[in-house]
Amino acid sequence: MKIFLDTADINEIRVAARWGVLDGVTTNPTLYAKVGGAPYDDVLREICGITSGPVSAEVIADDLEGMLREGRHFATLAPNIVVKVPMSETGLEAISRLADEGIRTNCTLVFSANQGLLAAKAGASLISPFVGRLDDINQDGMIVIRELAEMFAIHDIEAQVLAASIRHPQHVTQAALAGAHIATIPFKVLQQMVHHPLTDRGIAQFKADWEKVQGELAARRGS
């Protein structure tokens, strides 16, 4: 399973890239609003300079012409831009039109397998079911991931299932086991995945034991 970072924070993206675990990035208006400070285009260009993997840029317009205009514009920013289009009747049409023009799209705000199926048929290359937001309303978000992954495998559909709205490390494990092709992960969750109390304690213990022996050797040399 590929790992994308779900952020518009350049520093977080640089760190994940240095760790060698970054396959792409997803942004949305909320994530962009959290960092602010620079025009969205500049942020996107900078992200695309850090990773050659897909970088999702979300349209704001809710009318067809606006979605197409914004999508075409994002596609000029870098070759690895993927235009994020919300699931809707207009969104499907925009996805289809952009696909005809060779522009890759990520259908966002997907909450059911049928929505994902339609987005894939319209030509989206990435389908983003929101796991955490489904869990929030007492529905098992992972079911949509599993259903879509199975559906795409059975019918040989090219679109990839991108598990979004990931809230904790268990979501990542569950998404991988449910067949998600990609999980987009907040930086905090990525850090949580690195750490384990026994790993951290083990590192401290090895260091302490090593230093204890070095101290004893130094004392012996001095006596």
Q: Residue 128 interacts with ligand E4P (CB under 6 A)?
A: yes
Among 2, 84, 188, 207, the active-site one is: 84
Q: Which is nearer to ligand E4P, 66 or 132 (by Cβ)?
A: 132
Closest CA to 75 of 51, 93, 54, 50: 54
How many CA atoms, within 13 angstroms, populate the side-chain half-sphere of residue 7? 20
What crossing angle do the helices spanning 10-19 and 187-194 adopt, rounded to 10°? 30
Is residue 84 part of the annotated active site? The answer reads: yes
- How big is the site for ligand E4P, counted in residues (CB under 6 A)? 12
CB 119, CB 92: distance < 8 Å: yes
Beta-bridge mates of residue 6: 26
For the chain, strand residue ranges (E) read: 2-6, 24-26, 55-58, 81-86, 105-110, 126-129, 160-163, 182-185
- Among residues 3, 5, 8, 28, the one that binds ligand E4P under rule CB under 6 A: 28
Q: Residue 105 interacts with ligand E4P (CB under 6 A)?
A: no
**Dist CA 105 CA 127 (whole Å):** 9
Q: Residue 133 interacts with ligand E4P (CB under 6 A)?
A: yes
Q: Residue 160 interacts with ligand E4P (CB under 6 A)?
A: no
Q: Residue 148 interacts with ligand E4P (CB under 6 A)?
A: no
Smallest distance from ligand E4P to CB 107, Å: 10
Instruction: Give catalytic residue positions.
Output: 84
In the complex, the residues that contact ligand E4P under the rule CB under 6 A are 6, 26, 28, 30, 108, 128, 130, 132-133, 164-165, 184
